[in-house]
Amino acid sequence: MTKKIFILTSLFLSIIWALTPPVLAESARVAGASAKLKTKIQKKEKDPRVIKLEAFLKKQKSPLIGQANYFVQTADEYELQKWKLTFLVPAITGVESSFGKQLPPNSHNAFGWAGGNRHWNSWEESIDHVSRALKENYIDRGANSVFKIGPIYAESPTWAQRVAYFIKQIESTPPLTEQLDFTL
């Protein structure tokens, strides 16, 4: 009897052992597919403001296209969106440097800052500096719209109107069609 139990137990364990690797492999395959799906969904759930700005900068053939996410993050950090100025900083680059296409070499100064003579080490550094300065030196002191910022920021009486025009252009830009691909 003991021998029969031993043989049946061994047989049972052998069957379980033989079936376990495919089950684990299938489980791993399903987990991997789930992770890939999550990654794809995360890629598709990009901030719509970033998508708009990327599409706009791509249309402009701007070297700043890779900074769209940073522009939006920095606007959020300095609460520019509170004043409906999320796209203020990229719009300024349109007026001052044709969206970063016309500026002193290696200056990262697409903003005309300090008469175009200010140099930064990276786009991120310049975006952060200008966003922070706009918040602290303009908005916090009562210049909380493009038309209040304009006379302080630039000598041109049409500066604010042109910046406002680019803000509206960015806001009305449809997303890139490749951003809408939901195939799995």
pTM of the model: 0.72
pLDDT score, position 18? 57
CA–CA separation, 23 and 44 (whole Å): 31
Whether 184 is covered by a domain: the verdict is: no
Are both 36 and 92 inside the same structural domain?
no
pLDDT band with cut points at 50, 70 and 90 for residue 174:
confident
**From residue 160, how far is each of 80, 92, 116, 165 by CA, in Å?**
16, 9, 18, 8
Name the 3-class secondary structure at 16: helix
Amino acid at 77: E
Residues 97 and 128 in one domain: yes
Decide if pLDDT at 144 tops 90: yes
> What's the average model confidence in pLDDT over 159-168?
97
Q: Is there a single domain that holds both residue 41 and residue 57?
A: no
Count CB neighbours of 143 within 10 A: 18
- pLDDT value of position 31: 55
My answer on whether 161 and 76 are in the same domain is yes
Say yes or no: 92 and 6 in one domain: no
Does residue 74 share a domain with residue 18? no
For residue 6, the one-letter residue type is F
d(CA 131, CA 80): 8
CATH number for position 85:
1.10.530
Q: What's the domain range around 140?
A: 48-171
In this structure, the answer to whether residues 53 and 15 fall within a common structural domain is no
Reduce the DSSP state of residue 84 to 3 states and report it.
coil
**Shared-domain flag, residues 72 and 159:** yes
| Domain tally, the chain | 2
In a domain, 180, yes or no: no
Are 40 and 53 within one domain?
no
Please report where in the chains the tokens 């991997």 appear, as a residue.
Answer: 32
**36 and 53 assigned to the same domain:** no
pLDDT single digits (tens) 3-51: 666 555 555 545 555 555 554 445 545 555 555 545 544 555 789 999 9
Considering only residues 180 and 173, tell me which one the structure prediction assigns the higher pLDDT: 173
Please determine, for residue 181, whether its predicted confidence score (pLDDT) is greater than 50.
no
Asked if residue 118 is part of any domain, the answer here is yes
Decide if 67 is inside a domain: yes
Same structural domain, 29 and 117 = no
80: buried, middle or exposed (CB in 10 Å: 19+, 13-18, 0-12)? buried
Q: How far apart are CA 119 and CA 92, in angstroms?
A: 17
Distances (CA, A) of 140 to 41, 83, 127, 132: 38, 11, 18, 10
The tens digit of pLDDT for each residue in 54-83 reads 999 999 999 999 999 999 999 999 999 888
The structure tokens 């195939």 sit at 183
Considering the domain boundaries, does residue 128 fall inside one? yes
**Would residue 181 count as lying in a domain?**
no
